[in-house]
Amino acid sequence: MSLKLEKAHKYEKEEKQKIPAEEKPVFHVTPPIGWMNDPNGFSFYNGEIHLFYQYHPYTRDWGPMHWGHCVSKDMVSWEMLPAAMAPDQEYDAFGCFSGSAIEADGKHALMYTGVSKKTLPDGTTQERQNQCLAYGDGRVYEKFSGNPVITGEMMPKGCSRIDFRDPKIWKEDGKYYLIVGNKNDDQRGQVVLFSGKTPESWEFETVLAENSTGEIGTMWECPDFFGMDGKHFLICSPQDMKAQKYEFHNGNNAVFFVGEYDKETHVFKKEAPKSLDYGFDFYAPQTTELPDGRRIMIAWMQNWDTLAYRRNESKWFAQMSLPREVSVKNGRLYQVPVRELDSMRANKVEYRDVVIKDTRITLDQIEGRTVDLELVIRPVDKDKLYKKFELCFAENEKYHSTLRFRPDESVLKIDRSFSGSERAVVHQRECLVNGDCNELKLRVILDRFSAEIFINDGEQVMSAVILTEQDAKGISFAVNGAVRIDVVKYDLA
């Protein structure tokens, strides 16, 4: 083991004990200590679900990237393991950036981006991002002696050698494939495809997809690609996108394209992109397929532009989203919390047909900060829409966060302005809800420092970090007009 990795192990072992369990979410992944960003190497290997992540143990800020590591059987309780990789080689001295994992000939193969610096003929230095490989047994990982296995020089002219990162590997018909995020000379994001007989030797295939309209961002980070229900889905996180109506409000966005993929010619015909999440905090998602056939997606529940909204005193920073099962319905990508979360449900409280008219109410035993709340909201009178419905949570005299629905516009707004923030970062987001305004279904998952809102059975999702003090645990319902609601609440323990 390198000195750098040994140092990280020692540091995380000593420091993580200093963080009281109550300071962390209950079932969302957080780093043991220090900084975390993208999920990496999300994969099933040797009977366990592995999740790695971009990790800088020594500070709560981004720094030379390590790969943190944890494992789970159920994706709700995670065993945090020692860091898997440190930036300890010449080819990754400036960071082990994002990547993915697969089982290859019985071994756990990690593909990641090694960041190094190259001295140019004029004496200046320029960053280089190349794709590297490490093998392991689920606990200990060793970098491949032939690294890097893919360099930027393998791509045609016009593809950036500097922004070339985040390999996602898969196997199909006995061959390995790998896509990498990239951009072209016109500063437009794209995804490039490679193939190989083994994870050690690769050939460039094609530019699989690109920002052909010029409106889909510069660098495309963290791509993912999979087939489901006869369609193919390309996920990526384009940087520097402008908002378009209700889509793409996060600057750096997580989007998906649905399309048709020709496996022989490697041509992907894609439709226009859509946001994967309409909240503030969802970036660099990665999916994996479990042995039971489910495709699960997990993301960094954070946004690069709102890092200032953080708890100053804590020694760790950032959370992953809930792992979400994705499926296709009517050509749309649906997301729901993995069903394993249901096993944490306790203390069911249920109300049916509660009529609320021009007032705010609370319901006995409906409160908490680690809860699973299911809500169905209908107008009392079908022909008479109510004006506005409001759900407040993480609420006391001082704080509250709100979900507000206006059925005439079909817009659901999340507002965390009063969640205890001391910073001028964005605190409101709107989602144009696709469904029928005569029935809005919400599932709200709260876990101490976050809220994830699954709209109409997961057709759309809004994710938000909420740093409100834990004793603000009230939940209330308010209406302008008249609604009839069903409420089912579980504690998640």
The catalytic residue positions are: 38
Please tell me the number of Cα atoms within 13 Å of 467 on its side-chain side. 21
Q: Is 98 in the site for ligand FRU (CB under 6 A)?
A: yes
Examine residue 333 and tell whether it contacts ligand FRU (CB under 6 A). no
Kindly tell me which residue out of 43, 113, 218, 419 binds ligand FRU, with binding defined by CB under 6 A: 113
The number of residues that bind ligand FRU (CB under 6 A) is 13
Examine residue 284 and tell whether it contacts ligand FRU (CB under 6 A). yes
Q: How far apart are CA 273 and CA 235, in angstroms?
A: 9
CB of 119 to ligand FRU, least distance (A): 23
Interaction of residue 66 with ligand FRU, rule CB under 6 A: no
Considering the rule CB under 6 A, would residue 97 count as an interface residue with ligand FRU?
A: yes
Report the residue number, 301 or 344, with the smaller CB distance to ligand FRU.
301
- Out of 24, 29, 35, 38, the residue judged to bind ligand FRU by CB under 6 A: 38
What long-range pairs does 431-438 form, CB within 8 A, spacing at least 24?
A: 431/246, 431/278, 431/455, 431/460, 431/462, 432/245, 432/246, 433/405, 433/460, 434/332, 434/410, 434/459, 434/460, 435/410, 435/459, 437/385, 437/407, 437/408, 437/410, 438/378, 438/379, 438/382, 438/385, 438/407
Would you count residue 221 as binding ligand FRU (CB under 6 A)? Answer: yes
Q: Does 250 bind ligand FRU (CB under 6 A)?
A: no
Could you tell me if 153 and 161 are in contact, meaning their C-beta atoms sit under 8 angstroms apart?
A: yes
Q: For 218, left (φ over 0), alpha (ψ -120 to 50), or beta?
A: alpha
State both tokens at 418.
Answer: 């009063």
* Closest to ligand FRU by CB, 65 or 234: 65
Q: Which residue's CB atom is positioned nearest to ligand FRU?
A: 97
- 3-class SS string, 334-375: EEEECHHHHHHEEEEEEEEEEEEECCEECCCCCECCEEEEEE
Give the separation between CA 418 and CA 163, rounded to whole angstroms. 38
Closest CB to ligand FRU among 37 and 184?
A: 37
Cβ distance to ligand FRU smaller for residue 36 or 467: 36
Closest distance to ligand FRU from the beta carbon of 37 (Å): 5
Establish if 255 lies at the interface with ligand FRU (CB under 6 A): no
Residues 145-184: x where in contact with ligand FRU by CB under 6 A, - otherwise, as a string: --------------------xx------------------
Looking at the Cβ atoms of 143 and 369, the one nearer to ligand FRU is: 143
Is 284 strand, coil or helix?
strand
Residues that bind ligand FRU (CB under 6 A): 37-38, 54, 65, 97-98, 113, 165-166, 221-222, 283-284
